[in-house]
A = this chain, B = another copy of it.
Amino acid sequence: MDQRRRAVLLLSGGLDSYTAGAMAREQGYDLYALTVSYGQRHAVELAAARRVARTLGVIDHFFQRIDLRAWGGSALTADAIVPKGRRHISREIPVTYVPARNTIFLSLALGLAEARRSFDIYIGVNAIDYSGYPDCRSNFIRAFEKTARLATKAGVEGVGEFRIHTPLIRMTKAKIIREGARLGCNYALTWSCYDPQPAGPKSYKPCGRCDSCILRAKGFREAGIADPSL
């Protein structure tokens, strides 16, 4: 029997899921990473996910590709322009919301977790410095966790009780970054921007103006740490 437990980590390539993974490692888990590509415009994220998985020393890294462009419903999966500027980070759910994204991600993670007899799933959702997506909030996570226990053979047979870990959910972005820095995270490996700008052959730079860039910059500024990716 291994001394360390095993968990599934939903890994996007951004700094939140990296930090969640580093926290899981510190909490005694070895990780299966799962990266879901959903036809998002920022495919450059996937390369970042590979780098982060490597540095986290994951047991295995799974990729799933689903095509959420097929039915659209989000600026992130459309060819439309991603909105820019601070004005629209508000109490409204923004156009970058992708219908049911975290429900889809967590259900895939649940399948992987059950297949590997792991009962712990880490997801780097955050309900403080975030875009206002409903599927980043605690009541959604708790409802999904209950569903997971009823949905699965392992849950029903009492083999294990699925837990969705959201270590970042009540942290500010600055606190997340300080925690990651403490754990030795190299944020130069990560990618956050929703709207990558060409910066040469096969290279991109962040736009600096989308929700995600703005929240990242605010986080580093408030943490008093320089963003190593800039």
Contact = CB atoms under 8 A, between A and B. Distances in A.
A183 interface: no
A196 B182 CA distance: 55
Q: Which applies to chain A's interface (DSSP): helix, strand, loop or mixed?
A: helix
B71 A156 contact: no
Contacts of A72: 115
A134 B112 contact: no
22 contacts: A62-B71, A63-B70, A64-B66, A64-B67, A68-B111, A71-B112, A74-B115, A93-B153, A93-B156, A99-B112, A99-B113, A99-B152, A103-B111, A104-B104, A104-B107, A134-B151, A135-B150, A143-B147, A143-B150, A143-B151, A144-B147, A146-B147
Interface string A179-202: 000000000000000000000000
Nearest to A138: B150
Given A143-B146, A146-B147, 11 more contacts: A66-B108, A73-B114, A100-B107, A100-B108, A103-B147, A106-B107, A134-B150, A134-B155, A144-B147, A146-B146, A147-B147
A99 to B, nearest CB: 4
A109 to B, nearest CB: 9
Contacts of A157: 93
B134 A156 contact: yes
Interface of A: 62-68, 70-74, 93, 97-104, 106-108, 110-116, 133-135, 137, 139-140, 143-144, 146-148, 150-153, 155-157
Contact of A139 (B103, B144, B150): B150
Contacts of A66: 64-66, 108
